[in-house]
Amino acid sequence: MIRRISSFKTLTFGTLCSVLLAGTAWADAQSDYAEHCASCHGENRLGGVGPALIPETLKRMRGPRVAAVIAEGRAATQMPAFSHELDALQIEELAGWLKSPLESDPEWGEAQILASRTLDEEYVPVDAPAWDSDPMNITLVVETGDHHVSVLDGDTFEVLDRFETPFAVHGGPKFSPDGRYVFIMSRDGWVQKYDIWALKQVGRVRAGLNSRNIAMSGDGKWVAVANYLPNSLTVLSTEDLSVAKVIEVKSKTGLPSRVSAVYQAPPRESFVLALKDVPEIWEVFYGANPPQSGLGHDFRIEGQFKNPDPFPVRKITTADYLDDFFFDQSYEYVMGASRDGKGGQVIDLVIGHKVADLDLPGMPHLGSGITWKHGDTTVMATPHLTDGAVSVIDMESWETVKRIKTEGPGFFMRSHENSPYVWADVFFGPNKDAMHVIDKQSLEIVKTLRPAPGKTVAHVEFTRDGSHALVSIWEDDGAVIVYDAQTLEEIRRLPMRKPSGKYNVWNKITFSEGTSH
């Protein structure tokens, strides 16, 4: 209420009445929360055994409404039904209050992050994998249905382990450069470290309160966490999940911003940040020799160019808000999608300027883009989130080579150096059960698979050698289907709980051009 009352001057009488009514309702809602919810979701709504209950997490909730979850509970979770204890009005008011902003932004700095860290006492590092599979062909399957990850042998498709993750994992888990450890992030900001060789969790830390994704530094020493709440980037040590730095995100003119995403740019020894609220791209350097220009610091110490800050920040002003990125293989050029969903821009990170505009309608999901050789050039392809198309762009001229019409908006694409095909899902709409297979040279759809009619069929990952493609039936009683990537025949079906992304160690650590980075 504090924020609202301070802006009374601008309220009409009607709005004022609603605010006061809401205030009364919220008082009741707050006491209902304290009595029934706080023990699991935290006194401050920031989460505990249960997830955070704040607008940043709730507004993207699909499926049942918040009030319905309070009334009926959530199947297969510890969330019970409250319809016997709270009446319909109480439940509506409680749901309304949960969707209202926190009265002030909670502090989540180094001290709070460190206090959240737990390192598993029973974890003991091993000298070699505790199993016989090819360590480079391990594939992780994130199962969002019950918040687990399955560790698959990429040759036999045997499940080596199935471990619990924090609630609501988002974005790709990131492997250490040797493929031994993996770091997994949840929307509530938890980062989990898991030892693939030992098949054991190493520990967890809450790096933010509402987070977007993580990136691994090229040298494997740091994991950067992009946060919406607070407006910050947290840099963690991969060794022990301790805090290396919390960088407050404020534009050149001092405006705070949420971080939409963080990406790694290994040849530049930097992390690149997409910002939600200001038209800037940020580059955060972690190497010993960051570039000496554009950082706004004087690095001269005792006559030498040395940076006193281990993570200096470079802020590049852009002509538009750029939310979603794709990099060329050299990491010099970053393609950014415009907020209005009508186009995009290419920024040269070396000179810090726009070098081309992109013809990209339909809100392209650049983060899912992939590249391949096409004739004597390299193309990148990206699905559109709001129309049924995949755009194919020449990475030299930045011209659109082709817009491939699909059966609906898609979310993810994948290929492999050894495959002649690109796989593109149709995530939204009546044809969500379709998976298109596109020929990389003719740019034509050669086959549309429908392995589970009426179900969402999405996200593909290849095995290390590209011989098999793994596809999710993205449903609670779902499965991962293993296809022969040449004949496109189904080989096996592995039952899984709402499997979402799949991540092959080799494809990820070698930055395969067929996978997102």
- Residue 274's SS3 state is strand
Q: Which of the stretches 24-32, 169-177, 326-334, 443-451 binds ligand DHE when contact is defined by CB under 6 A?
A: 169-177
Q: How far is the CB of 328 from ligand DHE (least distance, A)?
A: 17
Q: Which lies closer to ligand DHE via its Cβ, residue 175 or residue 411?
A: 411
Interface pick for ligand DHE out of 170, 180, 374, 403 (rule CB under 6 A): 170
Q: How far is the CB of 366 from ligand DHE (least distance, A)?
A: 9
208 touches ligand DHE by CB under 6 A: no
Look at the block and give the residue holding tokens 């471990």: 163
514 touches ligand DHE by CB under 6 A: no
Other residues' Cβ atoms within 10 Å of the Cβ of residue 310:
14
Q: Which of 149, 262, 247, 126 is nearest to 195 (CA)?
A: 126
411 touches ligand DHE by CB under 6 A: yes
Q: How far is the CB of 92 from ligand DHE (least distance, A)?
A: 24
Q: Which lies closer to ligand DHE via its Cβ, residue 286 or residue 412?
A: 412
- Edge-to-edge strand list for the sheet holding 174-175: 118-119, 200-206, 190-195, 181-185, 174-175
318 touches ligand DHE by CB under 6 A: no
Residues whose CB is less than 8 angstroms from the CB of residue 370 and which lie 6 or more positions away in sequence, other chains included: 380, 381, 413, 414, 415, 422, 513, 514, 515, 516
500 touches ligand DHE by CB under 6 A: yes
Q: Which of 250, 225, 249 is nearest to 235 (CA)?
A: 225
63 in Cβ contact with 75 (< 8 Å): no
Q: Which of the stretches 48-56, 164-172, 250-258, 264-272 binds ligand DHE when contact is defined by CB under 6 A?
A: 164-172
Q: Which of the stretches 1-9, 129-137, 166-174, 232-240 binds ligand DHE when contact is defined by CB under 6 A?
A: 166-174
Taken as a whole, the chain contains a residue count of: 517
The amino acid present at 194, given as its one-letter code, is Y
Residues whose CB is less than 8 angstroms from the CB of residue 5 and which lie 6 or more positions away in sequence, other chains included: 19
Going through 98-186 in order, the beta strands assigned E by DSSP cover 118-119, 138-143, 148-153, 159-164, 174-175, 181-185
Look at the block and give the residue holding tokens 């186009």: 343
Q: Which lies closer to ligand DHE via its Cβ, residue 307 or residue 500?
A: 500
344 touches ligand DHE by CB under 6 A: no
Q: How far is the CB of 185 from ligand DHE (least distance, A)?
A: 8
Interface pick for ligand DHE out of 47, 166, 172, 383 (rule CB under 6 A): 172
Q: How far is the CB of 31 from ligand DHE (least distance, A)?
A: 31
461 in Cβ contact with 154 (< 8 Å): no
Q: How far is the CB of 334 from ligand DHE (least distance, A)?
A: 13
Q: How far is the CB of 50 from ligand DHE (least distance, A)?
A: 18
Q: How far is the CB of 411 from ligand DHE (least distance, A)?
A: 6
Q: How far is the CB of 425 from ligand DHE (least distance, A)?
A: 10
What is the pairing mode between strands 148-153 and 159-164? Answer: antiparallel
Describe the crossing of helices 13-36 and 88-98 by its angle, rounded to 10 degrees. 100
Question: What tokens appear for 122 in the block?
Answer: 């029973």
Q: How far is the CB of 88 from ligand DHE (least distance, A)?
A: 29
Residues 164 and 265: their CA atoms lie apart, in Å, by: 30
135 in Cβ contact with 505 (< 8 Å): yes
Q: Which helix (H) or strand (E) holds 164?
A: strand 159-164
Q: Which lies closer to ligand DHE via its Cβ, residue 61 or residue 301?
A: 61
Task: Annotate each residue in 354-393 with x if it binds ligand DHE (CB under 6 A) or - if it does not, as one string.
Answer: -------------x--------------------------
First vs last C-alpha separation in the chain? 42
Do you find a cis peptide bond into 361, omega within 30 degrees of 0?
A: no
Interface pick for ligand DHE out of 210, 213, 217, 307 (rule CB under 6 A): 213
The neighbouring-strand residues paired with 468 are 484
Interface pick for ligand DHE out of 154, 166, 171, 514 (rule CB under 6 A): 171
Q: Which lies closer to ligand DHE via its Cβ, residue 395 or residue 460?
A: 460
Q: Give the residues lining the site for ligand DHE (CB under 6 A).
A: 60, 144, 170-172, 213, 261, 324, 367, 411-412, 500-501, 516
